[in-house]
Chain A
């Protein structure tokens, strides 16, 4: 388990255009600079957002890694939910899922409250 290394690579990709360029052009060489497991490497390359989430990647890093791969917001959220179904609970870090009714149901509940005010 080398979550720190996975997160470091994602951090560099998010903030450094040259790292992004290398991610496209020489991904294997770039990955070789980070001590990641086979599972982590597979999750990064695919990319498997759900597995990266379960591995414990901080959401503030992961959401931009998803955007980098043109994964829009709802698809990003769904990928994490699928990750939980496939791989089980988040293994590390503070970004665990805690249960939520969802934005649409929440909006509807708030609307009822506003109308009742």
Chain B
């Protein structure tokens, strides 16, 4: 059928783990924006949701690290984190192995993606799903870009991965929604947790909303590390979504820095160009 929804949102664990420590009004506005995003996804009547995330050693480690991976199972489990820490109950989440396989075969035409028949979701997927699909009734196809353990795939390959996901989604009969999750600038899990380069975030999102491929791919990892922290490497997921939209412009629905959540919390959607 086609890609029917393409968007991006934050996945910071603090959004649930430290919810009460944020300014109440700002937190409620973020949660409303995430729920609104879920409504928008459902309004496109998707058969499955591809979540392009940047996981944090839940499944992949430096012993065997894929640059790109896609899950291929009929169900998954998450969150892997301590339930008391993340404040999200562990559960089984539906997948669709046959659909995953067809999407993977499509992606493989241009990107050498790894596949995984088991996958434990961490906060990178579980926090978004907690708000976007709280009924856990939409089959999920998890996808991952290594943004944690350098060497990392170049931004141009994240773009290629997004293009490959788009081509694969357009080639299956199902209606596919895609959400990229990640932080923009952030220094998570360090003594600097909470530091946010808001100006850098706004400029990145300006380029993203314009779907300006050249500008999005112009950052070097050294520049990202300097200006946006090691967490900034996760812009790869946003870049993949921009590529999947094939030039479609974006709208930033919500973007506010929330230090206790460690990022500029964001929800955004891209138009899907033909």
Contact = CB atoms under 8 A, between A and B. Distances in A.
B150 interface: yes
B186 to A, nearest CB: 11
Interface in B225-262: 225, 229-230, 257, 259-260
Secondary structure type dominating chain B contacts: loop
Contact of B82 (A68, A81, A100, A110): A68
Given A4-B62, A73-B18, A102 B190 contact: no
B189 A60 contact: yes
Interface residues of A, number: 35
B189 A103 contact: no
Contacts of A53: 190
Given A60-B148, A73-B18, A100 B61 contact: no
A85 to B, nearest CB: 10
B191 interface: yes
B194 interface: yes
B148 A98 contact: no
B189 A95 contact: yes
A14 B259 CA distance: 25
B259 A98 contact: no
Interface residues of B, number: 33
A59 B183 CA distance: 15
**Residue among B61, B225, B257, B259 with the highest chain A CB neighbour number at 10 A:** B259
A97 B257 contact: no
**Residue among B18, B189, B193, B259 with the highest chain A CB neighbour number at 10 A:** B189
B223 interface: no
A55 interface: no
B57 interface: yes
B22 to A, nearest CB: 9
